[in-house]
Structure 1
Amino acid sequence: MALAAAPLLRLPISPPSPPPAQTPPPLLACNSVNGVRLRPQRSRQPRRAAAAAATASLAADTERRKHELLRAVQETGRGFAASPDQRASIEEAIVSVEELGAGEGSPLDLAALDGTWRLCYTSASDVRVLFEAAERLPLLQIEVGQIYQKFECKDRSDGGVVRNVVRWSIENLLEEQEGATLMVSAKFAVMSKRNIFLQFEEVVVENIKISEQLQALIAPAILPRSFFSLQILQFLKTFRAQVPVNGPERRSPGGLYYLSYLDRDMLLGRSVGGGGVFIFTRAQPLL
């Protein structure tokens, strides 16, 4: 008897289940490293802006005080014509600038001091006597021109040379303003952060520039100029009188000078011992 074939058993086939979804790792905050939370950093821009604003404010205040000082010394004849009230106001303005204390805590910057400075005001008697002489000798008609202090100390750290230069003239005899030059030279040594000691050496009168009227009197243009008249003109033009103020038998005069303020365009000084105050502004180099 033949065996009947057994029917095939068909089992249901289930589709493969998808792999379990992987949960992505949590994103780290931008202010954390390796999961460690960091303290948020503050922006430096506000600090820089505040520092820049403070610097600008200080610069504006400095220029304002200097401007007020220069305005106070106007119409004072460089100090000779200043009234007592004006002198008091000027002293207050000077102190206001000195309070800025530019470079007070650092050594004196001789490179910044080097150069030519024009006198705007002084209360020093040894300078005012020049103006007084012009007033007391009206017949000579002496005119005091610009007064300068020229420091030569650019490549020095211990001192240098200072030359006090006075331009002056005599009406009808010398050219106006700069008919002649009186120069007092001194060596100076740095004594402290703000004090220098002046040791005067010589007084010189030079650069005589006679007026056209005097030239015409000595050598009239309508007449042939003689050898003698030409010699006179040449002598006057090259005249230079030099008087030393020191020597083996006498001690050179000197004095202590306190530089109370110095920046790129203003110099304030005080002659120690009650000699007076000085206000200078930067000028073009003297030829």
Structure 2
Amino acid sequence: MELAFAASVYPTNVKRVIYEIRPRSSKLVTNKRRSFHNKFLCSVAVAPDRNRVSKVELENKKHNLLLAVQDTQRGLAATADQRSIIEEALVSVEGYNMGAPLDMAVLDGTWRLQYTSAPDVVVLLEAAARLPFFQVGQIFQKFECRDQLRGGVIRNVVRWSIPNLLEEQEGATLVVSAKFDVVSVRNIYLQFEEIKVQDINISEQLQALIAPALLPRSFLSLQ
């Protein structure tokens, strides 16, 4: 808490009185250190904590942004008006602490996609909406940059499936990896590394279909 002091009347012919004001449980406690015989008036103005106010404002802006992207199916069903509102809310969040360098410790981790206007991602969502044999589950972006100063590794992770052949929504995982370098407070440079499919999980129906053919047979059963 920031405290501002202002003395409305200050005597010039006596010793000063020093008050130490400490915030404690939202109350102001005054501890008198020295006293004198003459009295004077002292007013205390309590200013709001700017850091606390800024953090509250930022959380409100984030909340408004998340509300704006709801019911857009991660951007697939967003109308022109919704995209305009989302862009405005996004710019409002980006305006907080603008110009500060990227904090790699905060960026490090796995982030789940809530909304996108990127064509290469929207086309996947469109395909899943139109094709009955293709599903797109959760999409993540994973940054590996802890203890790094100017870059790291970024991985785009897409969970997808083919109904009846693979498990619902998460039958397989597509991972696209790239190295990144920070070139400015708003831009990073990407260098593609690899693309791979992993964690393939076949459906129970397919397991039941192929299991008999894969079961070990004895010599007698083969006769």
- Which bracket does the TM-score occupy, shorter chain normalised? 0.7 to 0.9
Q: Is 2:119 the counterpart of 1:125?
A: yes
SS of residue matched to 1:144? strand
The within-5 A match list for 1:85-164 is 85-101=81-97, 104-138=98-132, 140=133, 142-164=134-156
- The CA deviation at 1:132 is 1.6
Distance 2:214 2:54 in 1: 67
Distance 2:19 2:127 in 1: 68
2:208 aligns to what?
216
Distance 1:85 1:172 in 2: 38
Distance 1:173 1:48, change over 3 A: farther
Aligned length: 188
Deviations 1:180-223 (A, max 9, x none): 00010000011123321111111111110000001111114xx8
- The CA deviation at 1:59 is 2.2
TM-score by length of 1: 0.59
Deviations 1:234-256 (A, max 9, x none): xxxxxxxxxxxxxxxxxxxxxxx
SS of residue matched to 2:77? coil
Distance 1:95 1:224, change over 3 A: closer
Distance 2:158 2:214 in 1: 36
Distance 1:205 1:50, change over 3 A: same
Distance 1:93 1:71 in 2: 10
Q: Is 2:57 the counterpart of 1:65?
A: no
- The CA deviation at 1:39 is 5.2
Unaligned 5+ runs, structure 1: 1-30, 228-287
1:78 to 64, 70, 74: 74
1:225 aligns to what?
215
Which entry has the higher C-alpha Rg, 1 or 2? 1
Distance 1:119 1:224, change over 3 A: closer
Aligned CA RMSD, in angstroms, stands at 2.6
Distance 2:59 2:45 in 1: 23
SS of residue matched to 1:121? coil
Deviations 1:145-198 (A, max 9, x none): 110010011011021000000001111111112110001000001112332111
Distance 2:122 2:206 in 1: 29
Distance 2:192 2:47 in 1: 49
- The CA deviation at 1:137 is 2.5
Aligned amino acid, residue 215 of structure 2? R
Distance 1:226 1:207 in 2: 25
2:165 to 158, 170, 173: 173
The within-5 A match list for 1:4-83 is 37-38=14-15, 41=18, 44-45=21-22, 49-52=46-49, 54-83=50-79
Deviations 1:220-277 (A, max 9, x none): 4xx87148xxxxxxxxxxxxxxxxxxxxxxxxxxxxxxxxxxxxxxxxxxxxxxxxxx
Aligned amino acid, residue 110 of structure 1? M
Distance 1:106 1:56 in 2: 18
